[in-house]
């Protein structure tokens, strides 16, 4: 069974630009979660999508947004990039049958210069 996949692996952007990160959940999983992990810091919850709808969002500004597609894959969009957006962005998925366990993808390393 394929795990959670994310693309791209690495990304370098300049301040003010926009970026889109992509995530494909494990087959059969309907929930997708996005986390930000800045260097030396813990995981910070960004967004939760389930069945195509945004269920909750963390304490991040509106320039962080996303969506979930009918096939349950998801995109995370970050507008007007700032230097402090440099981080590892992790996507995780879960299903109602797997309980609350979340399976993480390998992450996208975003560097903003």
Q: What is the spatial distance between Cα 44 and Cα 4, in angstroms, rounded to a whole number?
A: 19
Considering the complex, state which of residue 25 and residue 105 has its C-beta at the smaller distance from another protein. Answer: 105
Q: Three-state SS for 69?
A: coil
CB of 97 to another protein, least distance (A): 14
Considering the complex, state which of residue 73 and residue 102 has its C-beta at the smaller distance from another protein. Answer: 102
Distance, CA of 55 to chain centre: 14
Where do contacts with another protein occur on this chain (CB under 8 A)? 33, 35, 41-45, 48, 55-56, 58, 90, 99-107
Considering the complex, state which of residue 11 and residue 43 has its C-beta at the smaller distance from another protein. Answer: 43
CA distances for 73 relative to 5, 98, 109, angstroms:
10, 18, 19
């Amino acid at each position: 069974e394929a795990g959670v996949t994310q693309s791209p692996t690495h990304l370098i952007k300049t301040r003010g630009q926009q970026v889109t990160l992509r995530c494909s959940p494990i087959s059969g999983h309907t929930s997708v979660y996005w986390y930000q992990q800045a260097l030396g810091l813990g995981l910070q919850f960004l967004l939760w999508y389930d069945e195509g709808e945004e269920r909750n969002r963390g304490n991040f500004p509106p320039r962080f947004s996303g969506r979930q597609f009918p096939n349950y894959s998801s995109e995370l969009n970050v507008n007007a990039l700032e230097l402090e957006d440099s981080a590892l962005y992790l996507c995780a998925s879960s299903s109602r049958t797997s309980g609350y366990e979340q399976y993480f993808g390998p992450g996208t390393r975003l560097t903003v210069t």
